[in-house]
Amino acid sequence: MLGGEWTINPGFLQNGLMHDLAKQHGALMFYTEHRYYGKSYPTQNMSSDNMQYLNVDQALADVAYFIDNRKSEYNITDSKVIVFGGSYAGNMAAWIRIKYPHLIQGSVASSAPVYAKADFYEYYEVVANSLRRHDSQCALDVENAFDETEELLVTEGGPEKIQKIFNICKTPNVNSMTDVGYFMNFLSEVFASAVQYNKVVNGMSNIGQLCDTMTSASIGKPIERLAYLIRSGPKCKDVDYKDMIKDLRMSSWSTSAMRQWYFQTCTEFGYYQTANSSKSAFGRLVNLDFFVNICKDVYGDYYERELLDSGISRTNIMYGGRLPDIKNVIFVNGDVDPWHALSVLKDVNEFSPAILIQGSSHCQDLQADSAGDVPELRTARKKIRNIVSGWLQ
């Protein structure tokens, strides 16, 4: 299992799809942590100069050396290797078959956004569509709530009302598009997280819980229902762009991975989830400039739009985007997951199938079977097990 922009833990070595397959075939399992994340500190700190060694090319090389060293250590030079990865690590699982096919016999790329893109407006299109599929009134009330919020931002006395309604610590600075964008992005992320990681617990999905609140007239107007989701007790929420930038500028090693991940998005991937689509339901104030400004404000003026576009172009040229020349990779996505819009959704060839799971969300195929799984998810896992087992024969 490949680690991505997070701290690894033993979970996948104890349970889940890879664990089940390893147990079936008597395989060794390893979980590699990505350089610069978790406890993998290759430099003294995370200064902008030191971040130059953080990129997917280097990370893939790390995995290649790890595989070669483990084969020598365990005297298993002829053993086959299957790589699993989800989300960004799903990209790596696919791309390592391109760069090091002699080391790896097959890969499972789960929820892998292999097509790098700056303005990822499709993300919130999928979020909105997932809400509509659950309850059309829910999506309409969400859209109304965001429209009401944006209207208050341009109304005299409106920002003060927003501060009170949402119980945020500071009044939004309507003269700063970065402040306004940060606030609206903060509101949108509540829905993004629920949809991306949607799961059923005790018969209720994350989306269902959100929609129950957003359609509850007893709470008040749509904007008040939105605020109900945001508020958490009497303590105000700090939603301030400058504070966020200050945190991201901290170059000492810490538990947060946001400084590292933002750097990779600014230099290699983009993936910026804007509201630049009429099919979205989350206002119109979170645009690409907002995210490019984060790159410049955190890492310096050098990290501007031109560098972003160049890095994205390089990534797609190097690894093929949605049309990689590749064999023995299974691309697995859930249609509820917003990231599927940047993944491979059609078979690349007879050796690299694409599986799109109706009603499933982000990386759920990598988990073990559970009572809340939709039937299509169980069917997909069975197909993956059969293909991987074939590779190992």
Domain containing residue 45: CATH number:
3.40.50.1820
Q: What is the average per-residue pLDDT within 293-314?
A: 97
Dump pLDDT digits (tens) for 326-375. Answer: 999 999 999 999 999 999 999 999 999 999 999 999 999 999 999 889 99
Together in a domain, 125 and 208: yes
pLDDT at 245 over 80: yes
Domain-ending residue, one of 283, 312, 341: 312
Provide the number of structural domains found in the chain: 2
Question: Exposed/middle/buried for 154, CB within 10 Å: 0-12, 13-18, 19+?
Answer: exposed
User: Do residues 84 and 108 touch, judged by C-beta distance below 8 A?
Assistant: yes
State pTM to two decimals: 0.96
Same domain, 154 and 303: yes
Q: Is the pLDDT of residue 233 over 80?
A: no
Task: Give the three-state DSSP class for 117.
Answer: strand
Question: Is residue 160 located within the same domain as residue 305?
Answer: yes
- Residue 209 domain-assigned (yes or no): yes
Domain identity same for 332 and 307: no
Tell me the H-state helices in the chain: 11-14, 17-25, 56-73, 88-99, 122-134, 136-153, 158-166, 177-196, 206-214, 222-230, 241-248, 258-264, 288-299, 305-319, 375-392
Residue 372: per-residue pLDDT: 87
Same domain, 155 and 268: yes
- Rounded to an integer, what is the distance from CA 383 to the centroid of its chain? 24
Same structural domain, 304 and 168: yes
Write down the pLDDT at residue 161: 97
Mean pLDDT, rounded, of the chain: 96
**Residue 200 belongs to a domain:** yes
What pLDDT score was predicted for residue 201?
81
Residue 3 lies in a domain: no
The whole domain housing 348 covers 11-114+321-392
Of 286, 312, 338, the residue that ends a domain is 312
pLDDT level of residue 164 (50, 70, 90 thresholds):
very high
Residue 307 lies in a domain: yes
Using the predicted structure, report yes or no on whether residue 256 has a pLDDT greater than 90.
no
Does the residue 87 lie in any domain?
yes
pLDDT tens for each residue of 124-153: 999 999 999 999 999 999 999 999 999 999
Q: Name the band, by pLDDT with cuts 50, 70 and 90, for residue 255.
A: low
Structural domain contains residue 23: yes
Q: Which of 289, 312, 335 is the last residue of a domain?
A: 312
Percent of the residues in the chain that have a pLDDT greater than 70, as a whole number? 100
Is residue 5 assigned to a domain?
no
Is 233 inside any structural domain? yes
Q: Per-residue confidence at 197, pLDDT binned at 50, 70, 90?
A: very high
Across 235-253, average pLDDT: 95
| pLDDT score, position 89 | 98
